[in-house]
Amino acid sequence: MQEGAPVVLGLDVGGSSVKHLLASARASLDTPPKPLDRGRHATPKSSPVEGLAAIASSLRGDADLERVVLSIPGLVDEAAGVVVRSTNIPALDGRPLGAQLSAELGIPVDVINDGHAAAVAEASWGAGAGVDDVFVLALGTGIAGAHVAHGQVVPGAHGSAGELGHITIEPEGSICSCGRRGCLETIIGAPALRRAWVAVGGTGGPEGLLAAHSAGDAAATVIVERASSALAEAILTLCALVDPGCIVIGGGLAQAPHQLVTLAERYVGERASFHRVPPIVPATLGEWAGANGTVLTALRRR
């Protein structure tokens, strides 16, 4: 790296690891910048502010670091730079992380939600590039969503828009982590699929279920068809409310073989009425989507 060249740093803080991406502050906003450096660190859980400051300082080296953006799993007051609640890193709860790191490092530091970071990156630099109105859906342990219009997440009045995992699919269904019944997550989230598969004697978790479905197993087919049907209903609701120009689906459960998604897409086609169903495409930035989103945010705000 050229000594003294202006750079920005993105830190994607996860429950177990922190991914970093260092990019030139003069990088183009049109395409993902070639990272000057990227890597992983263990998440500092007991003193996260000091630990994250140490990571940023060690990466700074001789470079002219202009801005740091961190993405955090959990509820974040992005305007204030405060972590409201993080299930994975409880020591961050209520901390004014942006202000504290900014004081440590002497430069602006922003804090954003990790799902929002991944969504802006996919919408601008990934599978949604070139489309003005993109909905990004992550299928994993939970189901996260974000509507990105003209490159910006539409957060809603309280920052919680896009929670597609908690729309009701089965009003009399099982209890969800949110306390309500029959949310999408109770049917297609990874724990829900695992539970349904174990209940019929299946092994190997959601991956085992999908493999058995591919092999034509009847019990696996019932579970996968129910999950895909639920996802299809959620997508139709999404189209009715948001009318996106593209739906990007990522997350652990959407990786190939992603028959959950292809089957859902078929059901959506069969069930749509007035809905304008946009292309439903797989995410392309993979596990670096969040880190790319932090760098993109840093480049935009400098």
Amino acid identity of residue 228, one-letter, is S
**Cβ(137)–Cβ(144) under 8 Å?**
yes
Is 101 near Zn ion (CB under 5 A)?
A: no
- Closer by beta carbon to Zn ion, 44 or else 189: 189
User: Cα(291)–Cα(71) distance, rounded to whole angstroms?
Assistant: 8
Nearest to 142 by CA among 117, 171, 162, 122: 162
- Closer by beta carbon to Zn ion, 127 or else 164: 164
Is 176 near Zn ion (CB under 5 A)?
A: yes
Q: Which residues contact 98 (CB under 8 A, 6 or more apart)?
A: 70, 80, 81, 82, 109, 110, 111
- Closer by beta carbon to Zn ion, 184 or else 212: 184
Q: Which residues contact 216 (CB under 8 A, 6 or more apart)?
A: none
Is 234 near Zn ion (CB under 5 A)?
A: no
CB of 166 to Zn ion, least distance (A): 4
CB of 196 to Zn ion, least distance (A): 17
CB of 82 to Zn ion, least distance (A): 25
CB of 239 to Zn ion, least distance (A): 21
- Closer by beta carbon to Zn ion, 169 or else 295: 169
Give the chain's largest Cα–Cα span. Answer: 62
CB of 182 to Zn ion, least distance (A): 8
Nearest to 163 by CA among 199, 134, 135, 193: 135
**Region of 216 on the Ramachandran plot (φ > 0 left; ψ -120 to 50 alpha; else beta):** left
- Closer by beta carbon to Zn ion, 164 or else 298: 164
Is 178 near Zn ion (CB under 5 A)?
A: yes
Is 183 near Zn ion (CB under 5 A)?
A: yes
Q: Which of residues 148-167 bind Zn ion (CB under 5 A)?
A: 166
Site residues, Zn ion (CB under 5 A): 166, 176, 178, 180, 183
